[in-house]
Structure 1
């Protein structure tokens, strides 16, 4: 049975009048996704009144992560344990993709994002990011692609593995996006217990990467000619980037990453740049001690906006649809620890104001815009797939 939830989004300091709440349950064990107090009210503003109906389409997920749509309208949603569920007409078909690779499912690691090739109609490629298992309870983020024969994953090709392999399952990222030229970008976290990975170009961790659609390394990547550097690196100094979205109209790549206790960031990702972690940060250690005594340094990028305390930023989308005129051009970010959707009112590359929406809907793992222009979100704990329907 579908559940219907209604929110009235109003002009005012807090922006959202909550008409629904639900019990939450923490899923991830890593403290980076569990921290935070109350979001600063000055971040929450709304300039346009809009009535949104939240249509709950599915209520039985186990740690959902990524979602994408096929040209025939089917929707694919990953679960971290290693499954991809198939939806049609907004309903679970009862079918799952068969024959997927074994995954290293520990904490935040497992089967993560899913995306289709920009020319899927021509080639049929589906891409996934997952933690590939290695001996001794280790895993490494891997990008692979496959095609569908009915519900079977066939013609599987492993494209790239972000080495070295790592014990445990903290800070694996990961999202996949394509740009207008067909390059594939993916995010990979610093692995948690060694933050200095993010500043070390000889490993793949704490970075955004760029490859060709078949796994080859582009010759114009920024560190391709640097001795010892991982050639796929596009940017570095990224702590745990669990959100990535490409703005096709303006050729911009946006990312959100978890800070430690405070210091979640929204970043404009640009070729070869250093985003600072752990040399600069607006966060502190979980025991309250400082990580660093600086928040700025020459040669290191400042975030477009940041969150203190943390909201636990996760999957994100850029609103391009005319169905949400008040939000068009804005960035929507899922908040895990704070259990809401965060709307960043954007003007070009500047963040003007922010709004907390749908408080207590659950740990929002990602927000996505469908090809027909509707917004969807998936949550952990509450295990929901929801569709945001504008009433007016």
Structure 2
């Protein structure tokens, strides 16, 4: 009888350990304490979402389609006028944001992998006017130079600062990672341009003959998250590390963020990158990093009144683990991290006008999810 009791107790403890372990991913707790409502599905690899003033959503699909989704989840036919994209690997139609003066201009901005000569390609940014069933008067305002034959690391997040200038994140295209450290190209850089694509006079490298004037910061890998902190007005970004070493940075003008000379990651399959160092004089440290990688994509600061417990937090999507990551902040530091299981690759995170968070899932039957705390 005693032996049977011990066996039952051991079985219960093993079951409890299994349940506890299942709620941890690589040493970080993952919880399901979210109220999740599916708003729409049937999108093919959606990449970005932007809210229109009437509450409808603009959604990009990587194959090169731009759609409008209403609050009931009805998905429009693809809007006409979208330029050709390179839909391969990580390329396609990518981010989308509204002009800060959208009510006056009806203008939207979007990024995409643009086909170039001889089979090469690069990140491009265009603006166009949103009409009933199409976009019109398209103008390309930024083309990443040089073009590369690669289907990786386009970066592509867009963020408007309070001064009206546009930040563009541009990946180093994978095969050209060493060029993230040189200033004569747009690879592995944060770009800063005006709404028409001109160079602001106060950009940090304007007077340097050996540098491209549109550069803001350099030494980045593949930045798939960018947002303006609504309290400080600063740009925050996150970028994919290789195997580990995903980073959150607050890019400052003219600063070097180290890739690929310093990193907290390693080669895929193991092995150090370069000298295998994490710090070097003259190179900035991230304010936060993940080892192992969570494969971050999309980010949003929460400043709505609906959920006071989320006020001042930063939310990041995880592709690798299918999670929403909540970061509690104080000033420019991350105090704590909480993870919520979504069960699907989270590509984008946006705060809606109703105070909920909206997520895009990266899959052939892509979904729009509305989430809030339980």
For normalisation by structure 1, the TM-score amounts to 0.86
Is 1:341 the counterpart of 2:324? The answer is yes
Corresponding residue number in structure 2 for 1:385: 368
Is 1:256 the counterpart of 2:238? The answer is yes
Partner SS, residue 262 of structure 2: coil
Shift in alpha-carbon separation, 1:349–1:130, aligned structure 2, 3 A = same
| Counterpart-to-counterpart distance in 1, 2:72 and 2:248 | 30
Corresponding residue number in structure 1 for 2:54: 72
Partner SS, residue 49 of structure 2: strand
| Counterpart-to-counterpart distance in 2, 1:245 and 1:136 | 34
Partner SS, residue 357 of structure 1: strand
For normalisation by structure 2, the TM-score amounts to 0.90
Structure with greater helix share of residues:
2
Listed one character per residue, the Cα deviations across residues 37-62 of structure 1 (whole Å, up to 9, x for unaligned) are 94333xx499xxx9632001122221
Corresponding residue number in structure 2 for 1:375: 357
Partner SS, residue 196 of structure 1: helix
| Counterpart-to-counterpart distance in 2, 1:390 and 1:326 | 9
**Map 1:207-286 → 2, pairs under 5 A:** 207-286=189-268
Is 1:144 the counterpart of 2:126? The answer is yes
Q: Max radius of gyration: which structure?
A: 2
Give the C-alpha shift of residue 390 in structure 1. 4.2
Q: Which 5+ residue runs of structure 1 have no aligned equivalent?
A: 1-13, 19-36
Query: For the aligned residues, what is the CA RMSD?
Result: 2.1
Listed one character per residue, the Cα deviations across residues 43-84 of structure 1 (whole Å, up to 9, x for unaligned) are x499xxx96320011222211111101112221010111011
Corresponding residue number in structure 1 for 2:278: 295
**Map 1:172-187 → 2, pairs under 5 A:** 172-187=154-169
| Counterpart-to-counterpart distance in 1, 2:22 and 2:328 | 19
Listed one character per residue, the Cα deviations across residues 320-372 of structure 1 (whole Å, up to 9, x for unaligned) are 1122222211111111111111111111111111011124x211101110233
**Map 1:1-392 → 2, pairs under 5 A:** 38-41=25-28, 44=29, 52-291=34-273, 292-359=275-342, 361-381=343-363, 383-391=366-374
Point out which structure has higher relative CO (alpha carbons under 8 A, 6+ apart): 1
Partner SS, residue 136 of structure 1: helix
Listed one character per residue, the Cα deviations across residues 242-299 of structure 1 (whole Å, up to 9, x for unaligned) are 0000013211111010000010001112111111100100000013110032101111
The number of equivalent residue pairs is 354
Dislocated runs of 4+, deviation >6 Å: 14-18
Give the C-alpha shift of residue 135 in structure 1. 3.0
Q: Which 5+ residue runs of structure 2 have no aligned equivalent?
A: 1-18
